[in-house]
Amino acid sequence: MIRPRPVARLGELRLLVWVAAFTLAGYVAVVAAASGRFAWYEIVVPIAVLAIFGALHLFLASIGFRGDQLLLPISVGLTGIGFILVERLAPGLLLQQLSWLVIAAGAFCVTILIPRDLSVLARYKYTWALLGVVLLVSPLLPVVGREINGASIWVGVAGVVQFEPWEFVKIALVIFFAAYLEEYREVLSTPPRRLGPIPVPPIPYLLPIVGMWLVAMLVMVFEKDLGATLLFFGIFLAMLYLATGEPFYVVIGLLMLVAGGFVAYHAFAHVAARVDVWLAPFNSDLRFDQAYQLTQGLFSLANAGLLGAGLGNGMPEQIPVVWSDFVFDAFTEEVGFVGALALLAFYLVFVYRGMLIALRAPTTFLQLLAAGLSFIVAFQTLVIVAGNAKLIPLTGITLPFVAYGGSSLVTNFMLAAVLLRVSDITARVRR
Amino acid sequence: MSERTIARNIRRLTLTIAIAFLVTSIGVGYWSLVAASDLNADPFNPRLIAAVRDRPRGKIVDASGRVLAESVKDGDAYRRRYADRSVAQVVGYASFKYGASGIEGTYQESLIGRDPADLLGQWKARYLGERTEPGSVVLGLDPKVQEAAVAALAGRRGAIVAIDPKTGRILASVSVPSYDANALVDPQQQDIAWGQLNDNKDRPLINRVAQGLYPPGSTMKIITAAAALESGFDPNQKIRVDDPYQADKSWGDYFVRSASGSHGDFDMALAFQRSENIYFAKVGLTIGAQKLIDMAKKFGIGRAPALDLAAAKGQLSNNGSLDRPTLLADTSYGQGELLTSPLQMAMVAATVGNHGVQVQPHYATEIRDGSGGILRTIGGGAGDQVISAATAAKLTTYLVGAVEAPGAFAFGARIAGVHVAGKTGTAETPSGSPHGWFVGFAPAEDPQVAVAIIIENAGQGGVDAAPPGAAVMRAALGR
């Protein structure tokens, strides 16, 4: 094995200095606002977080990594914001989140190092599909399955560790779709027959992906997680469109979404409740009951104004479970509309870089893979932020990197690592 | 070739995502910038109550200066203390968890030192963190009248409201059953109390004065008579009454019934004294639906009074029109699908007493700043001419007759030495025995008080409601 030659990643380093600056400043502001002072030893946690960020940078530089230099600063920048918010909203969870960050950093490095050739992923596509299904079903299994807040989406050993498998499934799903669609996209994008203007898709070729998608949907509906169901649906549509460019699939997909939503509204009480809350959160029957969380979130947004109440000066802790479902509203209340736009810009730049990596990738599989993964980040952000702002019904999906949650943090670092790998491969091919 | 199509798809997907981000940003901007001022002043927003957790909130006092709500020190924080259960629905509560209601909600900003009239103070609070001392709210409630109203209702389910016909100031406001607002601001009791109050089918949290809706019964006849007089109907014309009455065979087995099984000729004065349903049904049919609809609208039926608390708007009928002759006939004497609040009916009486001019009612009269200076006064609008002074004078004569003439139904409202104008009402309701109504004002020539009383499921209807009316008016007149 050839020993890799280290490279300088100066752009990345420069951006990391900024990340360190605002993470530290924000953390100090939050602690000082809560207790009125800042003791020196309290600096330990943010320093540890920043040390991990720095270690990741050194790791990439030391192995001579040539990939994108923006994704890591953005990812850890968002993670830094996440830590500020955990300290602000749920300080008791801070150390737990820190240990998850260590695991996430490890997963990041492992994903960067192996597999050495990403096309391996494509070769074992049905293995990925199977792994996805197994992970999906696992929360329903006895012994390891857990039900928390009405959703059976957790796996773990009580009191020790638990995680949400669907977070990993979303990556497996993109890998499987990318690999499958690379192989069959010609057939799928030039339908052999047309009924007038309507193309008839080659059903047999669609079966495996529709089957995979259907399993994912059914399981998630069964486990009562609207957010993940919606995400899988989005991934399915986006991947089909990316591969075929056929608007027909999108139209059919959206019609199915409407029909599915209608059926779900009438068939499942938890879906109907979400929609009712969304339609009239200030209704006097709902506002102290099911709509309490959303109305408190909207009060948070209203208190934001242009410049915000200042870190530590708002009242976002009034929102129940604010640290997982409503971090966006909490963040906005204290940093204002301007701060919210900055946060959204972080995500938009992440997605933009991801899509750029996809555009430049040397093979169709890598293109679909990178675009699909970037889409995940965009879609999750949009669904949760729009839910927080009452543009769509609220679904319990995590705000990538920022929201508290171990499985989310680990998966998103792996996701960023795969994107970086694709850009690294591109850089080496182009050279 | 194929790589290029994928590139095109990636670009289009990215563009779609960018547009979605834009739309989402606009949504966030809507809540944080556009809708912000409404939400920040929302009585359920805990920030307003938290803003004064560590210092006292302003006082709420009645017209005599008696304290109805004040903040007392409780450990490190302040807690609200409420003095008078009989004004619970008016004063409301300021709960950290359940928001604020009543005057506590309406004048929330004044009570925490951010009165809208004090722009400098507001600006300082937002940007400098300097807090203006909280102001107080002075209510128009007169303790003598309020006490008389509580005694007159004597714990029966219902409501009493007394207003000054000239200014719209509310002198007394009682809604039974009431509740103890102290329980809602006690962290130990609040959840249980809140649950019980919301589950209680008698709905103690509702201010029956302004939010309770009832069929007005015969008190509606004032509006029917006003519509008739204003459209040139001759009140001295004798109209034949034969119980039971139907206009023609198309009514099938439906009849209007006379309260006293009358057979005879009635003019308007006699019809008011005996509260003759058939007379007013015939009047309504004669003048037609449109005249009655217009007059009810002018008096404010179907429109919430511009009150400084939540108020119901009521309705003339389910769809706003009177398209069936039987519905027109029933509405003319106060049944049908009519629904009004006691406050609305008090305003009807006040309008007649005030020479046809309707003034909007208000609970608060003054907002004071922290040092007791008057920041602003509430009310004092000019009012609207609803009916002509001549019509009002005629109606007053009939309403005095309804109280004072021999055999008049509302005899229970008489006050020695003062002419009282009034009208009882007995409202049929599907839920048990009929509600008893009384509306009136005194002195008839130059009224200082107008009242409306509803006693839910009173045994004898209007007959039960007239004496409390006299008691409340007596207190207001100081007799």
Q: Indicate the range of A184-188, A308-312, B240-244, B391-395 predicted with least confidence.
A: A184-188
CB contact under 8 A, A351 and B3: no
- Cβ within 8 Å, pair B28-A368: no
Question: For residue A375, which residues of chain B lie inside 8 Å, CB to CB?
Answer: 13, 17
The answer to whether residue A222 scores a pLDDT higher than 90 is no
The CA-CA-CA angle for residues B13, A348, A125, to 5°, reads: 55
The owner of tokens 């009929």 is: B434
Considering only CB atoms, which chain B residues are within 8 Å of A248? none
Nearest 10 degrees: CA dihedral of A317, A321, A323, A328? -80
Q: Nearest C-alpha of chain B: how many angstroms from A118? A: 18
Q: Closest to A351 (Cβ–Cβ): which among B8, B17, B24? A: B17
- CA angle A72–A76–A78, rounded 5-degree value: 120
Nearest CA distance, B48 vs chain A (angstrom):
11
pLDDT(A270) > 70: yes
Determine the distance in angstroms separating the CA of B14 from the nearest CA of chain A, rounded to an integer.
Answer: 7
Contact A236, A213 (CB under 8 A): yes
User: How confident is the prediction along chain B (479 residues), in pLDDT tens digits per residue?
Assistant: 455 689 999 999 999 999 999 999 999 999 999 998 888 878 788 887 776 667 788 999 999 999 999 988 877 778 889 999 999 999 999 887 788 899 998 998 888 887 877 777 767 766 666 677 888 999 999 999 999 999 999 999 999 999 999 999 999 999 999 999 999 988 888 889 998 998 999 999 999 999 999 999 999 999 999 999 999 999 999 999 988 898 888 888 888 988 888 899 999 999 999 899 999 999 999 999 999 999 999 999 999 999 999 999 999 999 888 888 899 999 999 988 999 999 999 999 999 999 999 999 999 999 998 888 888 899 877 889 999 999 999 999 999 999 998 888 888 889 989 999 999 999 888 778 899 999 999 999 999 999 999 999 987 767 889 999 999 999 999 98
Residue B157 burial by Cβ neighbours in a 10 Å radius (0-12, 13-18, 19+): middle
Q: Which two tokens stand for residue B476?
A: 């207001």
Measured between CA atoms, the residue of chain A closest to residue B17 is A378
Q: Is the pLDDT of residue A6 over 90?
A: no
Q: Strand, coil or helix: what is A309?
A: coil
Q: How many CB atoms lie within 10 A of CB B238?
A: 12
Dihedral sign for Cα B404, B407, B411, B415, please: positive
Which residue of chain B has the CA closest to A345?
Answer: B21
* pLDDT confidence tier of residue A142, bands split at 50, 70 and 90: low
Structure tokens given for A407: 């499985």
- Give A118's DSSP letter: T
Contact across the interface for A243 and B6, Cβ inside 8 Å: yes
pLDDT score recorded for residue A210? 76
* Contact list, B16 vs chain A (CB under 8 Å): none
Distance from CA of B426 to the nearest CA of A (A): 32
Residue B467 CB contacts under 8 Å (≥ 6 apart), including other chains: B152, B412, B413
Size of interface A-B (CB pairs under 8 A): 124
CB contact under 8 A, B32 and A382: no
CA-closest candidate to residue A374, choices A71, A2, A57 = A71
> Can you read off the two tokens belonging to residue B100?
């604020």
Tell how strand B263-266 and strand B374-377 pair up. Answer: unpaired
Asked if the Cβ–Cβ distance from B7 to A359 is below 8 Å, we say: yes
Mapped to the 3 state alphabet, what secondary structure does chain B carry?
CHHHHHHHHHHHHHHHHHHHHHHHHHHHHHHHHHCHHHHHCCCCCHHHHHCCCCCCCCCEECCCCCEEEEEEEECCEEEEEECCHHHHHHHCCEECCCEECHHHHHCHHHHCCCCCCCHHHHHHHHHCCCCCCCCEEEECCCHHHHHHHHHHHCCCCEEEEEECCCCCEEEEEEEECCCCHHHHHCCCCHHHHHHHHHHCCCCCCCCHHHHCCECCHHHHHHHHHHHHHHCCCCCCCCEEEECCECCCHHHCCCCECCCCCCEEEECHHHHHHHCCHHHHHHHHHHHCHHHHHHHHHHHCCCCCCCCCCCCCCCECCCCCCCCCHHHHHHHHCCCCCCEECHHHHHHHHHHHHCCCEECCCECEEEEECCCCCEEEECCCCCCEECCCHHHHHHHHHHHHHHHHCCCCCCHHHCECCECCEEEEEEECCCCCCCEEEEEEEECCCCCCEEEEEEECCCCCCHHHHHHHHHHHHHHHHCC
| Catalytic residue of the set B101, B136, B218, B332 | B218
Residue A210 host element (H or E): helix A203-222
What chain A residue is nearest to B18 in terms of C-alpha separation?
A348
Task: Give the gap in angstroms from C-alpha B8 to the nearest C-alpha of chain A.
Answer: 8
CB spacing of B24 vs A386 below 8 angstroms: yes
Retrieve residue B261's tokens.
């099984």
Q: Which long-range contacts (CB under 8 A, 24 or more apart) does A318-323 make?
A: A318/B46, A318/B47, A319/A293, A320/A292, A320/A293, A320/A296, A321/A149, A321/A293, A322/A89, A322/A90, A323/A85, A323/A86, A323/A89, A323/A90, A323/A93, A323/A403, A323/A404
By Cβ distance, the residue of A243, A302, A341 closest to B36 is A302
Chain B residues at the A interface, defined by Cβ less than 8 Å, are 2-3, 5-11, 13-14, 17-18, 20-21, 23-25, 27-33, 35-36, 38-40, 42, 44-47, 50, 98, 194
Contact A371 B13 (CB under 8 A): yes
Point out the residue among A186, A299, A348 whose CB comes nearest to the CB of B18.
Answer: A348
Q: What is the mean pLDDT of residues A367-392?
A: 95
Q: A63 Cβ partners below 8 Å, 6+ apart?
A: A4, A6, A112, A113
Chosen for mutation from A289, A359, A397 (greatest number of chain B CBs closer than 10 Å) is A359
Q: How many CA atoms lie within 13 A of A392 on its CB side?
A: 19
Report residue B26 as tokens.
């606009």
Smallest CA–CA distance, residue B131 to chain A, in Å, is 15
Find the closest chain B residue to A385 by CA distance.
B24
- At CA B423, angle to CA B421 and CA B426, rounded to 5? 165
Identity of the residue in A336, A364, A389 whose CB atom sits nearest the CB atom of B2: A364
- Verdict on whether the full-model pTM lies above 0.80: no
Closest chain A residue to B5 measured between Cα atoms? Answer: A245
Nearest C-alpha of chain B: how many angstroms from A384?
Answer: 10
For residue A414, give the 3-state DSSP assignment.
helix
> Which of B16, B17, B96, B123 is the best residue to mutate to test the A interface, defined by the most A CB atoms within 10 Å of its own CB?
B17
The whole-angstrom distance between A65's CA and the closest CA on chain B is: 25
At residue A223 the predicted structure's pLDDT band, cuts being 50, 70 and 90, is: confident
- Give me the residue from A287, A315, A375 closest to B13, CB to CB: A375
User: What's the CA gap between A296 and A242, in Å, rounded?
Assistant: 39
Q: Could A368 and B6 be called an inter-chain contact, meaning their C-beta atoms sit closer than 8 Å? A: yes
Cβ contact B226:B391 at 8 Å:
yes
- Asked whether the beta carbons of residue B35 and residue A302 sit closer than 8 angstroms, the reply is yes
| pLDDT band per the 50, 70, 90 thresholds, residue A143 | low
Cβ distance A287 to B7 less than 8 Å, yes or no, reads no
Which residues from chain B sit within 8 angstroms of residue A296, using beta carbons? 46
Nearest to B36 among A296, A305, A359 (CB): A305
Q: Which of B4, B8, B9 to mutate to test the interface with A (most CBs of A within 10 A)?
A: B9
Residue A328: closest CA among chain B residues belongs to which residue? Answer: B28
B contacts of A301 (beta carbons < 8 Å): 28, 31-32, 36, 39
Mutation test of the interface with chain B: which of A294, A298, A380, A392, choosing the one with the most B Cβ atoms within 10 A?
A298
H or E stretch at A194 = strand A193-195
| Other CB atoms within 10 Å distance of the CB of residue A116 | 7
Pairing type for strands B364-368 and B374-377 reads antiparallel
| CB neighbourhood size of B255 (10 A) | 14
Q: Is B9's CB within 8 Å of A189's CB?
A: no
Whether B231 is a known active-site residue: answer no
Q: Which of A43-57, A206-220, A237-251, B20-34 has the lowest mean pLDDT?
A: A206-220
Res A158 pLDDT > 60? no
Residue B110, C-beta contacts closer than 8 angstroms, at least 6 positions apart: B58, B116, B134, B135, B137, B367, B375
CB contact under 8 A, A364 and B44: no
The beta-carbon neighbor of A355 closest among B10, B35, B46 is: B10
Nearest-CB residue to B25 (from A287, A305, A341): A341
Q: What is the pLDDT of residue B1?
A: 41
* Cα gap A89→B291, rounded to integer Å: 62
Residues of chain B found within 8 Å of residue A352, distances taken between Cβ atoms: 14
Residue A152 has pLDDT above 70, yes or no: no
**B466 in Cβ contact with B444 (< 8 Å):** no
Which two tokens mark A111? Answer: 């994903």
Question: Is B416 exposed, middle or buried (CB count within 10 Å of its CB: 0-12, 13-18, 19+)?
Answer: exposed
Query: Which chain B residues touch A304 with a CB distance below 8 Å?
Result: 31-32, 36
Contact B294, B212 (CB under 8 A): no
Query: For residues A318 and A302, what is the distance between their CA atoms, to the nearest angstrom?
Result: 14
